[in-house]
Structure formats: C-alpha cells, structure tokens
Copies of this chain bind each other. A is one copy, B any other.
Amino acid sequence: MSTAAELDSNIRDVPDFPKPGILFKDITPILGDPKLFKTSIQLLAETAGDTQIDKVVGIDARGFIFAAGVAHLIGAGFVPVRKKGKLPWTTHQMAYSLEYGEDIVEIHSDAVKPGEKILLVDDLLATGGTAAAATKLLKALDADIVGISFLIELEALNGRKNLEHPHVHSILKY
C-alpha cells in the first residue's frame, strides 16, 4: 500500500481557485490512480478504529466519493447529506454560514436510526461549516457519531473547533 506521504505528493496545488488568493488542493490525481485511491479509502476507514460502523455519511459532492469507498470497504451503508432541494423525501434541514449569507444542508429523516454508529467523511476540513451542520443533523437523528474524518485539513482555518467532537481525524494536514 502507498502511504499518506505519497498521497501528499500527488495533490495538485491550483492557485486562485475558486477565487483569487486561494490555493486549492486538487485531489483528482489521487482519485485517478488506483493505488492512491485505495490508500485514501483505507486510511479514512482506519480512523474508525475497531468500532463497527453502521453507516458512513458523505457530504455532497466530493465527500460522496470517499464516503462511498469507505462504506464499500468496511461493509457499511452509505448516507448522503446534500444541499437543499436535492433529496426527494422528508428531510431534516440545517443552515450554516458562508462568507456571504448562508446555505442549507439536508438529510433524509429516516436515513439514520437512533443509536446507529456513524462515520462522517468529507474530503476537506476548511472552516468546518458544512461538516458542523452535518454533525448537528446527525445528532438531531440521535445518531452515535463515532468519528468525523477528512482526507485534508487546512489547520490555519481552525475548522476542527467548530465540530465540537472528540474524534476528528485528517489524513493530510496543511
């Protein structure tokens, strides 16, 4: 298996995306390489430790890629958290702040049963707004959130403190 260092060396820094001054961490070179993709899934799955996870929750849209891989690897179900209006059935909603204004994420109200063990997975921990909203949705459904795991954490943005959870993991820190 390849290592976290190999993942790091295959991330592509794209300047000024999505806007001037932002150095974007492009993960598509990792996704496109079978070994690196498998490693990223494996390392994210290992963040759950020995706990048997019932469902892996992924956040729209890049989070779906990693969360689906982890769910498949560990034999768990997959649950999507999506932007407002994308889920067809009855939902719980949670607003979160953006730089300007706010946005809303949703989860199906029957997506998680009380007490189910959940691993929340996303590609990137920046300010943590979306992941914090997803965490609140899961708590509203009485889920047991075992951990919140990211491929990449941008430490300077301090998103970890917004999550208010003892088990926040990231594979690559910048």
Give the contacting residue for A111; candidates B28, B38, B85; CB below 8 A.
B28
A58 within 8 A of B: yes
Give the contacting residue for A12; candidates B64, B77, B78, B89; CB below 8 A.
B89
Some 29 contacts from A to B, beta carbons below 8 A apart, are: A12-B88, A12-B89, A14-B88, A14-B89, A18-B85, A24-B88, A28-B80, A28-B108, A28-B111, A31-B77, A31-B79, A32-B55, A32-B77, A32-B78, A34-B71, A34-B77, A37-B72, A41-B72, A60-B61, A61-B64, A61-B82, A62-B64, A64-B65, A65-B78, A65-B80, A68-B72, A69-B71, A72-B72, A72-B73
Question: Which chain A residues have a beta carbon within 8 Å of chain B's beta carbons?
Answer: 12, 14, 17-18, 24, 26, 28, 31-34, 37-38, 41, 55, 58, 60-62, 64-66, 68-69, 71-73, 75-80, 82, 85-89, 108, 111
